[in-house]
Structure 1
Amino acid sequence: MRALTRRLGHGRWFARAMSALVPLDRLVGRLTRGRVVALGLVPSMLITTTGRKSGVPRQNPLLYVRDGDSFVVVGSNWGKTAQPAWALNLLADPTATVTLKGTDLPVRATLATGAERERLWQLLVAEWPAYETYVERAGGRDIRIFRLAPDA
């Protein structure tokens, strides 16, 4: 099932359908305390950021990859031209909480640049090859990559 999902991930219809299901995924993730996100098809977490305008906590399901003790996430927004709100929230306030398998973990986000960004991009694409398609769809917009390190 995972291999099929990874293949389907390139389709524009898939991105639209999944984007429309984000509110349901967010609800399921919240109800299960992050134990079930993205139907368990890809490594996923809930991230809670602080709204940059509202100051209200905002929770979103995200695919992630591990890099040491950190999590790596990408603001692809399914290939849309607009930046995802959670990424803009992290730029305004890099503190966040990750909920993974029922555990809340405070993290601090840093924007990946240069050689580190390229290395992390390769990890992300290995997990979700459709990210390459999302870059094309986004029309060259800068797709931001964040490292979420545990906040001691």
Structure 2
Amino acid sequence: MDYMTTAADLHGPAHVERYLETDGEDGYYWRKGTTTLLLFTKGRKSGQTRTHALIFRPWGDSYLVVASKGGADQPPAWFRNLEADSDVEVQIKGDRFRARARVATAEEKPAMWAEMASVWPDYENYQTRTSREIPVVVLERVR
């Protein structure tokens, strides 16, 4: 593997591959000072494991991610997958664990959205591009 390019330069499957190869040593830190986790969902149609690198923030004992898809009118496939099956796996650096995903409640969302937008201000722009309310997803570790 050519490590002249860092995972910060990568997106999608290439980012995921580098993250997995290095247990996040290359890939955890991403663009503009953000950090990423890997989210493993089960394909709602295929049943195959799907893996996505997503910007995240810790929130108490949970973790937050945003289902923005850059402000597209349709949610990302990973979000549709977790709507069908909320049992997921998460990897943060070398720590991989089971989690349950849920959408932030109306009461929770403003503070959670503000936290996520503070680390990735583009989320605010994404929301202006669509009439779809972009959800904040809470990933709760299964003990």
Which range, TM-score by smaller chain? 0.7 to 0.9
Normalised to the residue count of structure 1, the TM-score between the two structures is 0.81
The answer to whether the 8 Å contact 2:39/2:88 transfers is yes
The structure-2 alpha-carbon separation of the partners of 1:105 and 1:35, relative to structure 1 and needing over 3 Å to count, comes to: farther
Give the superposition deviation at 1:33.
Answer: 2.5
Alpha-carbon distance between aligned partners in 2 of 1:24 and 1:55, rounded to the nearest angstrom: 22
Q: Where do residues 95-114 of structure 1 align in structure 2 (5 Å cutoff)?
A: 95-114=87-106
- Return the TM-score normalized by structure 2: 0.85
Does 1:60 find its partner at 2:52?
yes
For 1:134, give the aligned amino acid: Y
Task: Give the share of equivalent positions with the same residue, in percent.
Answer: 33
Q: CA RMSD in A?
A: 1.7
**CA distance in 1 between partners of 2:98 and 2:26 (Å):** 19
- What is aligned with 2:132? 141
Task: List aligned pairs for 1:58-137, cutoff 5 A.
Answer: 58-137=50-129
Q: CA deviation at 1:39?
A: 5.0
Which residue number in structure 2 is paired with residue 23 of structure 1?
Answer: 13
The aligned residue for residue 6 of structure 1 is none
Name the structure where helix makes up a greater proportion of residues: 1
For structure 2, list consecutive stretches of 5 or more residues without a partner in the other structure: 1-8
Distance 1:114 1:100 in 2: 27
Q: Is the 8 A contact 1:34 1:46 kept in 2?
A: no
Q: Cα 1:81–1:24, aligned 2, differ >3 Å: closer, same or farther?
A: same
Deviation (angstroms), 1:28? 1.0
Aligned partner of 1:37 in structure 2 is 27
Q: How much has 1:32 moved relative to structure 2? A: 1.6
Contiguous gaps of at least 5 residues in structure 1? 1-17
